[in-house]
């Protein structure tokens, strides 16, 4: 089999990225936009040994779970992978993926419960990051095609509310009016690289990432934004490196709001452009409530929120009956966490600016013979090996692991449970990112009694 061949095959399962998987002779076929149970005609895009990737050209027998995509950029933009599936099928895929990774990577035979559905399926994201480039001779913003840095212009993403479209339109008008050069990552020339927006409770923070020092004629952009938004702030972020990483150092305030002031579930907090905040707050509220409920059932006396950021999770998990610590290495984030503590009267919470590896053992010394739970919410790459070893040495009674990647979750949980140190006592997936292949999950591990 070779590139360009037209093939016909039966889709028997779904791969880790939501692609259809089947066999033809001795070859394994992988094709996006195909659902298990379908028969498809596809053209081979890549073939090596017994692995074939193909683009679907026709569905002969359609799955009852197939639906029309909600966006005309589906399969062009790399943001979504599951728009061709009904929502019930998306949730089933995510539950199955979590169970498969926990078994194949972690070695756990677990009855994974149904995924908690998102309250919103469209417009659920409160943050957007848009690369800037030239497409067809014109300046454009949008998203990259899958596995590439080819920019796909996107006028409006259904996962965003109207504010994102308004912000992008104002930005394009500014670039055109001010004749600002956009960044070329191959030549490493040009000024503007990305625009980032975060919108919560009528407040917008806009960050322009630049390959330089200043944003020229920024007053033009401010004026255009003011026509669409009543309450906004403008920042620039300097990134002059040859890198795919979006942000450089700290963002610099230029105009308007310096932070978002918000309140959720009775907790007052502030957010800056660089603050970590779940993009789908509707599902995050349900997830954090799940964590708090199960910790309250374990006679927890001390909670340690590792890598706590601006302290929102620490505040939501707070209880007057439990001693709480929050450890965060970024000083500005700790300052915001102190604001959260003060505004919400969290008297039993101690915010610590420092490294988890250095401070966690000290917390254990101060709280000997107490039931201690640690909470971690790492990025997709999971926990560092030294952090896993730290938990195995300090041996908290409970470990709550919040994950956005089931593969690294399974890997880390396997390491934590080695030698029968811990056992999984609760697992629950949540749909933080509808229409994408990603699934958020909470795992509660309890120390095995001596």
Q: 232 and 186, same structural domain?
A: yes
Cβ within 8 Å of residue 34, ≥6 positions away: 11, 19, 20, 40, 42, 56, 59
Q: 282 and 349, same structural domain?
A: yes
Q: Please tell me whether residue 425 adopts helix, strand or coil conformation.
A: strand
Cβ within 8 Å of residue 393, ≥6 positions away: 361
**Which tens digits make up the pLDDT trace of 209-239?**
999 999 999 999 999 999 999 999 999 999 9
How many domains are contained in the chain?
A: 3
Confidence of residue 450 (pLDDT cuts 50, 70, 90): low
Q: 376 and 259, same structural domain?
A: no
Q: Which of 239, 264, 289 is the last residue of a domain?
A: 264
pTM check: above 0.85: yes
State the pLDDT at residue 149.
Answer: 87
Q: What residues form DSSP beta bridges with 132?
A: 141
CATH number for 60: 2.40.50.140
State the pLDDT at residue 163.
Answer: 97
CATH number for 317: 3.40.50.150
Helices (H), ranges, 191-319: 218-226, 281-296, 312-316
List strand residue ranges (DSSP E) for 49-202, in order.
51-61, 127-135, 138-144, 151-153, 192-200
State the pLDDT at residue 244.
Answer: 87
What is the C-alpha separation between 347 and 324, in angstroms, rounded? Answer: 9
Contact 450, 439 (CB under 8 A): no
Q: Is 306 a catalytic residue?
A: no
Judged against a pLDDT cut of 80, whether residue 14 lies above it is answered with yes
Angle ∠(421,441,103) on CA atoms, nearest 5: 60
Judged against a pLDDT cut of 80, whether residue 158 lies above it is answered with yes
Q: Please tell me whether residue 282 adopts helix, strand or coil conformation.
A: helix
Domain that holds residue 54: 1-66
Buried b (16+ CB within 10 A) or exposed e, 204-230: bbbbbbbbbeebeebebbbebbeeebe
State the pLDDT at residue 2.
Answer: 87
Q: 384 and 290, same structural domain?
A: yes
In a domain, 75, yes or no: no
Q: What residues form DSSP beta bridges with 374?
A: 304, 399
Least confident stretch, 119-128, 289-298, 354-363, 412-421: 289-298
Q: 175 and 30, same structural domain?
A: no
Q: How many CA atoms lie within 13 A of 260 on its CB side?
A: 24
Confidence of residue 201 (pLDDT cuts 50, 70, 90): very high
State the pLDDT at residue 83.
Answer: 97
In a domain, 387, yes or no: yes
Token pair recorded at residue 106: 């972690």
- Residue 195: name the closest of 259, 240, 128 by CA: 128
**Which tens digits make up the pLDDT trace of 372-410?**
999 999 889 999 999 999 999 999 999 999 999 999 999
In a domain, 80, yes or no: no
Confidence of residue 249 (pLDDT cuts 50, 70, 90): confident
Judged against a pLDDT cut of 70, whether residue 428 lies above it is answered with yes
CATH number for 236: 2.40.50.1070
Element (H, E) at 326: strand 323-328
Q: 223 and 346, same structural domain?
A: no
In a domain, 83, yes or no: no
Judged against a pLDDT cut of 80, whether residue 10 lies above it is answered with yes
Q: 181 and 250, same structural domain?
A: yes
Helix axes 385-394, 406-417, angle to 10 degrees: 40
Q: Which of 244, 264, 284 is the last residue of a domain?
A: 264
State the pLDDT at residue 63.
Answer: 97
In a domain, 188, yes or no: yes
Q: 296 and 154, same structural domain?
A: no
In this structure, what is the dihedral angle of CA atoms 292, 295, 296, 298, given to the nearest 10 degrees? 170
In a domain, 78, yes or no: no
Judged against a pLDDT cut of 80, whether residue 311 lies above it is answered with yes
Contact 283, 440 (CB under 8 A): yes
Mean pLDDT, all residues of the chain: 94
Cβ within 8 Å of residue 389, ≥6 positions away: none
In a domain, 79, yes or no: no
Contacts 24+ apart (CB under 8 A), 284-290: 284/432, 286/116, 286/119, 286/430, 287/116, 287/402, 287/430, 287/432, 287/440, 287/442, 288/313, 288/316, 288/317, 290/116, 290/428, 290/430, 290/442
Contact 195, 224 (CB under 8 A): no
Q: 312 and 437, same structural domain?
A: yes
State the Rg of the chain over Cα: 24
**What one-character DSSP code corresponds to residue 74?**
B
The catalytically annotated residue of 71, 157, 306, 404 is 404
Q: Please tell me whether residue 295 adopts helix, strand or coil conformation.
A: helix
Judged against a pLDDT cut of 80, whether residue 162 lies above it is answered with yes
Backbone angles phi, psi at 317, to 5 degrees: -85, -5
Cβ within 8 Å of residue 370, ≥6 positions away: 301, 302, 323
Q: Please state, for a pLDDT cut of 70, what percent of the chain lies above it.
A: 100
Q: 297 and 257, same structural domain?
A: no
**Which tens digits make up the pLDDT trace of 76-111?**
998 999 999 999 999 999 999 999 999 999 999 999
In the chain, how many H helices and how many E strands? 9, 22
Q: 398 and 297, same structural domain?
A: yes
Q: 427 and 298, same structural domain?
A: yes
Roughly how many angstroms between the first and final C-alpha of the chain, as a whole number? Answer: 57
């Amino acid at each position: 089999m070779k590139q360009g061949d037209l093939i016909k095959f039966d889709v028997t399962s779904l791969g880790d990225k939501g692609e259809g998987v089947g066999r033809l002779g001795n070859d394994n076929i992988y094709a996006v936009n195909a659902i298990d149970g379908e028969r498809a005609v596809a053209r081979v895009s890549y073939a090596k040994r017994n692995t074939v990737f193909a683009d679907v050209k026709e569905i002969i027998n359609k799955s009852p779970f197939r639906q029309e995509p909600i966006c005309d950029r589906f399969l062009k933009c790399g943001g979504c992978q599951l728009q061709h599936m009904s929502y019930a099928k998306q949730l089933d895929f995510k539950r199955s993926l979590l169970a498969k990774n926990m078994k194949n990577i972690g070695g756990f035979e677990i009855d994974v419960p149904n995924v908690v559905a998102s309250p919103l399926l469209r417009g659920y994201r409160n943050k957007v990051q848009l690369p800037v480039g030239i497409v067809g001779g014109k300046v454009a913003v949008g998203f990259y095609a899958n596995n590439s840095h080819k920019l796909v212009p996107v006028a409006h993403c259904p996962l965003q509310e109207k504010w994102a479209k308004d912000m992008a339109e104002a930005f394009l008008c500014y670039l055109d009016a001010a004749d600002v050069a956009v960044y070329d990552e191959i030549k490493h020339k040009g000024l503007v690289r990305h625009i980032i927006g975060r919108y919560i409770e009528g407040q917008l923070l806009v960050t322009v990432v630049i390959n330089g020092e200043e944003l020229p004629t920024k007053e033009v952009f401010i004026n255009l934004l003011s026509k669409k938004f009543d309450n906004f702030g403008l920042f620039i972020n300097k990134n002059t490196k040859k890198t795919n990483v979006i942000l450089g150092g700290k963002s610099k305030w230029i105009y308007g709001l310096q932070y978002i002031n918000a309140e959720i579930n009775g907790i007052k907090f502030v957010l800056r452009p660089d603050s970590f905040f779940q993009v789908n707050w509707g599902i995050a509220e349900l997830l954090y409530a799940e964590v708090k409920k199960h910790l309250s059932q374990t006679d927890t006396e001390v909670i340690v929120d590792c890598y706590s950021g601006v302290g929102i999770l620490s505040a939501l998990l707070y209880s007057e009956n439990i001693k709480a610590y929050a450890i965060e290495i970024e000083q500005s984030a700790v300052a915001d966490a102190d604001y959260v503590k003060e505004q919400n009267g969290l008297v039993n919470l101690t915010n610590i600016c420092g490294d988890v590896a250095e401070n966690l053992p000290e917390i254990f010394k101060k709280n000997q013979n107490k039931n201690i739970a640690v909470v971690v919410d790492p990025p997709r790459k999971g926990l560092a090996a030294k952090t896993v070893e730290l938990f195995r040495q300090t041996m908290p009674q409970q470990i709550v692991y919040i994950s956005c990647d089931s593969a690294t979750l399974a890997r880390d949980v396997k390491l934590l449970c080695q030698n029968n140190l811990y056992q999984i006592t609760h697992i629950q997936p949540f749909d933080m990112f509808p229409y994408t292949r990603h699934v958020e999950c909470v795992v509660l591990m309890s120390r095995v009694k001596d």
